[in-house]
Amino acid sequence: MLFPMKKSKMVSTAVVLSLAILFCFSASAMAFESAAGNDITLVPDDGSEVRIMLLGEKSTAKYKKGKYIDISLSRQTMTLYQDGKSAGSYLISSGKRSMATPKGTFKVYNKARRAWSEEYGLYMPYWMAFTPSGSHGIHELPEWPNGYKEGASHLGTPVSHGCVRLGVGAAKRVYEWAPIGTPVVIH
139 in active site? yes
The catalytic position among 24, 136, 139, 187 is 139
Q: How far is CA 89 from CA 8, 15, 69, in A?
A: 23, 19, 10
What lies within 8 Å, CB to CB, of 30 at 6+ separation is 1, 3, 23, 50
CA 178-182-187 angle, 5° bins: 105
163 in active site? yes
**Active-site residue set:** 139, 163
